[in-house]
Amino acid sequence: MAIHTNSKTQQMKYLMIAIPLLLLSCGEDLTKEDLLPEATGEHGHVLVLMDDNLWEGKMGEALIAKLDQNAKGPYLRPEPQFNYFRKKTGSMTHVNKLSRIILKVMVDHDSTYAETAIIDKRNYYAKGQIFLVIKDSDPNRLLHFIQNGFQPVVDRMNNFEMDALITEFRGKPNNTVKEQAGQKFGIEISLPRDSELKVTKDDFMWVKYDRSRNLIGNEASGAKGGVFWIQEGIVFWSEPFSENGFSREHILDKRDTILKYNIPGKVKGSYMATEYDSCCAPVAETFDFLGGSAICIRGLWKHAGHPGAFGGGPFVQYTIHNKNTNSLVTVCGYVYAPKFNKREYIREVEAMLNTIEFKS
C-alpha cells in the first residue's frame, strides 16, 4: 500500500534542511549557535530539572527555600527571587528546552567529585539561554551546598537576566532621549524605543515608558480581570559636585525637592515623594560604577501632599560623579504597576540604569 505525504508538509521539511545547508555553502562562518532557536519565556522564571527522589525530599525543600527567598527590594509586599516550575530530568518537551533559565540538580553516581560542581552552559538548547547543572557524587554534600553555598548560583542567574536586558535595551534605544541625556547630563543611556520624553528642563528630565497587560480574573478570590497599565519612569537631575552632596542624606533631600516640584500626582496638589516609614526606609549602598564610586538607593515612593492621594511602588536610583562635567548626576527608575508583582519591572529599570556611560 502506498503512503502519501502532504506535499506542503514535505516541501517545508526540505526547506528546513536546505536553508542551513545553503548558508553553510555560502562560506559563512556559522556555528552551532547560529542555527539554534531563540530562548523563550519570561525573565525571572526558572525551569528546574530534578528527579522525584530528590525533589520530594530535603534536597527539594532546600532548593525551594532558596528560590523563594525575598527578592532585593523593598517592595510593597515580599516577592520571591525567582518563579519556577519543575520537570523530571527525562521528561523535557521541545518547549521546555527553549526555557531561558534551566537549573538541573542531580546526584552523579557514575563519577567521584572532590566538591559540588557548578557547570555553566550557555546557548545549550537555544540562543539566549543559561543551563546550570549542579551535581555531586555525595548527596549529603550536595544538600549542604544548596543549604549553605547556593548564592553563587543565584548570582549567575540574576547576572544573566541583567545582562540580557542591558543587551536588549542597547540594541533598540530611544535616540531622542539618548541625545538629550548627553546634552544635559553628559551621559548616554539606552531606554526603550517606545518610551516618551515627558518633561525636559535645564537640569531635569522625566521619561515615561507605559504599556498595558492583560490580567485574568479569579472567581475564588474575587479579583477582577481586565487590561491594566504599567508605568516605568526614569527621572534625571544634576547639580555641581561637592563632597557633601555625595552622601545619602543630601541625595535624599535633593530627591524630595526635585520630585515635589516636578512630578505631580493625579490629585490636585499631590506629588511624588519618598516613603520613610521604618519598615521600608530607603537603603543606600556605595558601589563601583564606570571606573569610580556611585551611590545606589533603593526604596519606595508614594504620593503625598493631599489626603486623597494614593499609589506608589518601588524605585532604584544611581547617583554618579561625572568628572567630565564635575557634576553629580542622579538617574532614578521607578515602577507603578498596582495590579502586578514588581520584581521584573524593577529589574528592567535597573538594567536601563546599567546602560549609562559617560559621553565622550
**What are the boundaries of each domain within the chain?**
31-166, 174-214+227-358
Average pLDDT over residues 225-246: 92
Structure confidence at residue 15 as a pLDDT band (50, 70, 90): very low
Q: Is the peptide bond before 80 cis (omega within 30 degrees of 0)?
A: no
Output the pLDDT for position 12.
Answer: 47
Quick one: pLDDT at residue 1? 41
CA separation, residue 259 to residues 73, 236, 247, 264 (Å): 21, 10, 18, 8
Give alpha helix (H) positions in the chain: 7-25, 52-55, 58-67, 94-97, 139-148, 151-171, 175-185, 248-262, 343-353
Q: Indicate whether 223 pLDDT > 70.
A: no
| Dist CA 176 CA 184 (whole Å) | 12
> Region 300-314: what's the mean pLDDT?
90
Label residue 251 by pLDDT band (50, 70, 90). Answer: very high
CB under 8 Å, gap of 24 or more: what pairs does 331-335 form? Answer: 331/187, 331/189, 331/234, 331/235, 331/236, 331/356, 332/234, 332/235, 332/236, 332/255, 333/232, 333/233, 333/234, 333/235, 334/232, 334/233, 334/235, 334/272, 334/301, 335/230, 335/231, 335/232, 335/233
Q: What is the pLDDT of residue 76?
A: 81
At the top level of CATH, which class does the domain 174-214+227-358 belong to?
alpha beta
Q: Given this model, what pLDDT does residue 310 score? A: 83
CA atoms within 13 A on the CB side of 187: 28
Residue % of the chain over a pLDDT of 90:
76
- Tens digit of each residue's pLDDT (9 = 90 or more) over 102-130: 999 999 999 999 999 999 999 999 999 99
Q: What is the pLDDT of residue 40?
A: 95
* Distance in angstroms (rounded) separating the CA atoms of residues 341 and 360: 38
Q: Check if the beta carbon of residue 131 is closer than 8 Å to that of residue 104.
A: yes
Tell me the Cα Rg of the chain: 24
- Per-residue pLDDT averaged across 174-193, rounded? 96
Mean pLDDT of all residues in 212-227: 71
**Predicted structure pTM score:** 0.87
